[in-house]
Chain A
Amino acid sequence: MLNFTIRQLGAELAARRVSSVEVAQYFLARANTLGKTLNAFITLDEEKTLARARAADAMLARAGKDGNEAGPLTGVPIAHKDIFCAKGWRTTCGSQMLDNFIAPYDAHVIERFDAAGMVPLGKTNMDEFAMGSSNETSFYGPVRNPWNTETVPGGSSGGSAAAVAARIAPAATGTDTGGSIRQPAALSGVCGLKPTYGVCSRYGMIAFASSLDQAGPFARSAEDLALLLNAMAGFDARDSTSLERAPEDYARDLDKSIAGLRIGLPKEFFADAGGVAPDVARAVEAAIAEFRRLGATVVEVSLPNMHLSVPVYYVLAPAEASSNLSRFDGVRYGYRAPEYSDLLDMYKKTRAQGFGAEVRRRILIGTYVLSHGYYDAYYLQAQKLRRLIANDFIEAFKQCDVILGPTSPTTAFRIGEKSADPVQMYLSDIYTIAVNLAGLPGMSIPCGFDGRGLPVGLQIIGDYFAESRMLNAAHQYQQATDWHTRVPPEVKA
């Protein structure tokens, strides 16, 4: 069962060769052992998980009778990033602020996976309020990378990426504001996809930066990502930024040939990028060569404003975050300082104690850039540049179907290596951030290893709503290569 893909697992369940309860117990056992070592989960709740597994088994038992249908995901476990509210589950967002918060409602994404019959395995560890690229800002401690437990799994969806990499969960959810799905997918050697902004509802997903946040799946193959995206995407009237589009089957193009696929290579990703580690560059170039072998053509494109994306992001995302996180004030729910003298003191102490250093830093930056007298120079300016960055992509996609490049400039770094230098940490998302600013879909798939045996991620960026085309490219690559099937050496059944 260890290396079953979701498709395989779904088939086993549908054929009733294994029960959902058995599958859940198998993965729960891993979560309780290896999961603890990696610190991948914040909350496990066996009773809830097994109850859902039993319900899935009942659904599978009825399937085919009286018009009952089970889907390809029915009974398959999925770990959820602890940013999604799930009714009755503690939902912390990796913060002391919500340490005691039991969500009274389900996020839309949770509803969708529940409706698909998936079994929630637990809530995964993450950077506090999704602010981080290493999973070190979590109130619950850092997550360890299964490829090397001295290194980070990436962030902010580090627990989800590590859980999938370590075969603790066959699938997981994540969110991506500046690379928080793709970068940990790359560093942990799994597949992760961030859809076009608006494809998945943000309802019930605790907001970091509303105009950038987007939910997406983790799995070990592009095909599995397509199945998961089929379940989680869809219009939701409770999110005004959710897009009302006809449902589509993201798996429909998987088997198409990619002969003639036009691959754009932004020169800024390669020639100009001094920061890319040689091992990463080598693996990505080899992957591009593989794509050419499969019939794709390569064209150089340019994203001239690319270099502005990190500074633009670190104005806009903190600005929105400073406002989004104002609701954590100790008044209605969550953490409240045990002692205070008056209202103002209560606010100050609650927020100073309840938030970690990185969250406080970003609230301060965000508050500053929105302040009277600075708004025009920072926020407004950044919004204008955001448009330019998006326009660069629109221009580039006139010449190509997908853009390829590295997901992250480096492979996984050591725990603690970058925590003293926030800017170094922020640069870890240099290749992913522009995609969020433009609202485009992007994904990362494994494409090799560095000299230390740490995985390298290949980023595939698509045009708006081109998820199925990206998945097609990734799937064809995975049919020809086996990087995505590699198992971390320490991970055993």
Chain B
Amino acid sequence: MKWEIVIGLETHAQLSTASKIFSGAATAFGAAPNTQASAVDIALPGVLPVLNKGAVERAIRFGLAVNATINRRSVFARKNYFYPDLPKGYQISQYELPVVEKGTLNIVVGDTEKTIRIARAHLEEDAGKSLHEDFHGMSGIDLNRAGTPLLEIVSEPDMRSAAEAVAYAKALHTLVRWIGICDGNMQEGSFRCDANVSVRPQGSDKFGTRCEIKNLNSFRFLEQAIEFEAKRQIELIEDGGAVVQETRLYDPDKGETRAMRSKEDAMDYRYFPDPDLPPLEVSKQWIDKIKCDLPELPQVMANRFHLDYGLTKYEATTLTRDGVMADFFEYALAFVSTQPAEWPKLPKPPSRGINIAKAKPDAKLVANWILGEVASLLNKEDASTAEFRITPHQLAELMHRIKGGTVSAKIAKEILRILWNENPEGDIDFIIEEHGFRQISDSGAIEKIVDQVLAANPRSVEEFRAGKEKAFNALVGQVMKATQGKANPAQVNELLRKKLGG
């Protein structure tokens, strides 16, 4: 039988407010235990929660970015359970009436686009942390994280493969950073996913029994966990068994999911509206103001890159996975398609007035460089994309040198590496001179070297004449090697053809 995998994700995005959702304590990561826990966070007797407006503003920003309904009135409830790192004995969370409902997010898998529905996004507070090591049989409690604002984003079960789930999680990750509501730091737990996975026979319209895999804090784990879980469920059913609804944990070391608790052990959270917090009322004016302040969204921008600049959907989506990278691209493109003298007059950001017709021919070049060389430099040092070590001006100048024949593409890569690794402030012309990178376009000089190469490689010459095109490339390579890559490749080609043909 052919099986279909059905996946829904619940994502917790930590909102980037400076203070907690219901207290004035700081939310910074990594402070000494319990130094960022106020009376409210510790749940001293008599303290009361006061809602952080910044958290609400961020939730609304998210809702608008996914074209969702912003509920003008939403309600905070108490989710009651006992745990040492839950100081009040309940978590304040929106339950029946969330602030955001019914949105959508588009994903691209390969070159196919798909719309994933977002059921809801609600505000809630995070719990503290239990520390089980270092205390000799006891547990330590760190309440720094208690009360950190979270937006829980719940998708509909619209994904049909691990790849789609990852694409959705990545698109969401891009979006929350893009609109500045979450730093997206997955190692620090600022962005984590729970995956609801079920399987059903292909063509069936009924959902299978689902399992929830908790706390997946990397895209790789998300993918692996779903793959494993779907396989486990399919094998179970094919062996005549049945899936039991339960919560499972993914063990990345073993690459498997393990049962944590079954539905029967599920707690009764005794939700009820929190009497300490009046319903959250959001005015239309406030929503409108937030809407006005919203930046161009990644999917809109990707679409524009695709249509205006002729980039592939893949290129456009990749460039817009990160706001810094997307801006870098568009600035660099604006500078490449204009002369330095015009740069000070360019609008900011360039999307407000870039000459599309003029820019389009260079778009592919700039995109290739950013997605190729620049991205590989970024990846190599494992830095977040926010840490570009060159400016769009520098990249644009480099492109101008290639276009103008000052340096070859190969040398340009070398210059980029120098700029990136050694001299971020560097002047490109100075680097070219200092390293003698200027392209050799003097045909006399190139001819001399071509002659030497031909003389030194009689076998290649013979092979070429015997019809082996590969031998020609080897000869080009030798010339480039002899000039340390500086010879103008077009001229080398032309001269070689002439000499060999002659």
Residues of A within 8 A of B (CB): 84-85, 91, 93, 98, 101, 103-105, 107, 202-207, 209-211, 237-241, 319-320, 322-323, 325-329, 331-333, 343, 347, 367, 370-372, 375, 379
Contacts of A327 in B (CB 8 A): 43, 45, 87-89
Can you report 13 residue pairs joining A to B where beta carbons are below 8 Å apart? A91-B45, A103-B45, A202-B48, A203-B47, A240-B48, A320-B275, A323-B90, A323-B270, A328-B45, A331-B84, A331-B141, A332-B43, A343-B84
**Alpha-carbon distance between A379 and B46 when the two chains are bound, in angstroms:** 24
Q: Is the CB of A203 within 8 A of B48?
A: yes
Contacts of B89 in A (CB 8 A): 323, 325-327, 329
Q: Is the CB of A104 within 8 A of B39?
A: yes
- B355 to A: closest C-beta gap in Å: 52
**Alpha-carbon distance between A279 and B198 when the two chains are bound, in angstroms:** 71
Contact for B277 among A85, A205, A240, A326, CB less than 8 A = A240
Contact for A211 among B90, B270, B275, CB less than 8 A = B275
- B268 to A: closest C-beta gap in Å: 5
Contacts of A204 in B (CB 8 A): 46-47
- Interface residue ranges of B14-49 to A (CB < 8 Å): 39, 42-49
Contacts of A370 in B (CB 8 A): 80, 270-272
Contacts of B51 in A (CB 8 A): 240
- A492 to B: closest C-beta gap in Å: 37
13 more contacts with CB within 8 A, not counting A103-B45, A326-B89, A343-B84, are: A103-B44, A103-B46, A104-B39, A105-B44, A206-B45, A238-B48, A241-B278, A320-B275, A322-B80, A327-B87, A327-B88, A372-B270, A379-B272
Q: Does B109 make an interface contact (CB < 8 A)?
A: no
- Interface residue ranges of B61-97 to A (CB < 8 Å): 78, 80, 82, 84, 87-90
Contact for B272 among A107, A202, A203, A375, CB less than 8 A = A375
Contacts of B88 in A (CB 8 A): 326-327
- B281 to A: closest C-beta gap in Å: 12
- Name the residue on A nearest B276 (C-beta): A210
Q: Does B236 make an interface contact (CB < 8 A)?
A: no
A85-B50 contact in complex given A240-B277, A323-B272, A375-B272, C-beta closer than 8 Å: no
Contacts of A202 in B (CB 8 A): 46, 48
- B90 to A: closest C-beta gap in Å: 6
Contacts of B48 in A (CB 8 A): 202-203, 238-240
Contacts of A322 in B (CB 8 A): 80, 270
Q: Is the CB of A210 within 8 A of B268?
A: no
Contacts of B78 in A (CB 8 A): 323
Contacts of B87 in A (CB 8 A): 327, 331-332
**Alpha-carbon distance between A379 and B82 when the two chains are bound, in angstroms:** 21
The residue among B89, B275, B278 with the most chain A CB atoms within 10 A of its own CB is B275
**Alpha-carbon distance between A84 and B45 when the two chains are bound, in angstroms:** 9
**Alpha-carbon distance between A371 and B46 when the two chains are bound, in angstroms:** 25
How many chain B residues sit at the interface, stated as a range, is: 20 to 34
Q: Is the CB of B270 within 8 A of A238?
A: no
Residues of B within 8 A of A (CB): 39, 42-51, 78, 80, 82, 84, 87-90, 141, 268, 270-272, 275-278
- Name the residue on B nearest A95 (C-beta): B45
Contacts of B90 in A (CB 8 A): 323, 326
Q: Which 4 A-B pairs have the closest CB atoms?
A: A326-B89, A370-B270, A211-B275, A210-B275
- B21 to A: closest C-beta gap in Å: 12
**Alpha-carbon distance between A399 and B407 when the two chains are bound, in angstroms:** 94
Contacts of A237 in B (CB 8 A): 50
Q: Is the CB of A371 within 8 A of B82?
A: no
Q: Is the CB of A93 within 8 A of B45?
A: yes
**Alpha-carbon distance between A209 and B275 when the two chains are bound, in angstroms:** 8
- B65 to A: closest C-beta gap in Å: 28
Contacts of A332 in B (CB 8 A): 42-43, 87, 141
A240-B47 contact in complex given A326-B89, A331-B84, A371-B270, C-beta closer than 8 Å: no
- B128 to A: closest C-beta gap in Å: 10
Contacts of B46 in A (CB 8 A): 84-85, 103, 107, 202-207
Q: Is the CB of A240 within 8 A of B84?
A: no
Contacts of B275 in A (CB 8 A): 209-211, 241, 320
Contacts of A103 in B (CB 8 A): 44-46
Q: Is the CB of A329 within 8 A of B49?
A: no
The residue among B42, B43, B78, B270 with the most chain A CB atoms within 10 A of its own CB is B270
**Alpha-carbon distance between A323 and B274 when the two chains are bound, in angstroms:** 10
Contacts of B49 in A (CB 8 A): 240
**Alpha-carbon distance between A319 and B268 when the two chains are bound, in angstroms:** 14
Contacts of B50 in A (CB 8 A): 237-240
- A165 to B: closest C-beta gap in Å: 27
A85-B42 contact in complex given A237-B50, A238-B50, A370-B80, C-beta closer than 8 Å: no
The residue among B45, B89, B141 with the most chain A CB atoms within 10 A of its own CB is B45
**Alpha-carbon distance between A379 and B275 when the two chains are bound, in angstroms:** 13
Q: Is the CB of A329 within 8 A of B276?
A: no
- A178 to B: closest C-beta gap in Å: 15
Contacts of B271 in A (CB 8 A): 370, 375
- B296 to A: closest C-beta gap in Å: 36
**Alpha-carbon distance between A194 and B341 when the two chains are bound, in angstroms:** 76
Contacts of B272 in A (CB 8 A): 319-320, 323, 370, 375, 379
**Alpha-carbon distance between A367 and B89 when the two chains are bound, in angstroms:** 13
**Alpha-carbon distance between A326 and B274 when the two chains are bound, in angstroms:** 14
The residue among A105, A331, A333, A372 with the most chain B CB atoms within 10 A of its own CB is A331
Q: Is the CB of A105 within 8 A of B39?
A: yes
**Alpha-carbon distance between A325 and B80 when the two chains are bound, in angstroms:** 11
**Alpha-carbon distance between A333 and B37 when the two chains are bound, in angstroms:** 14
Contacts of A85 in B (CB 8 A): 44-46
**Alpha-carbon distance between A23 and B42 when the two chains are bound, in angstroms:** 38
Q: Is the CB of B39 within 8 A of A241?
A: no
**Alpha-carbon distance between A205 and B44 when the two chains are bound, in angstroms:** 11
**Alpha-carbon distance between A207 and B271 when the two chains are bound, in angstroms:** 18
- B399 to A: closest C-beta gap in Å: 55
Contacts of A238 in B (CB 8 A): 48, 50
Q: Is the CB of A347 within 8 A of B82?
A: yes
- Name the residue on A nearest B270 (C-beta): A370
Contact for A329 among B42, B82, B270, B277, CB less than 8 A = B82
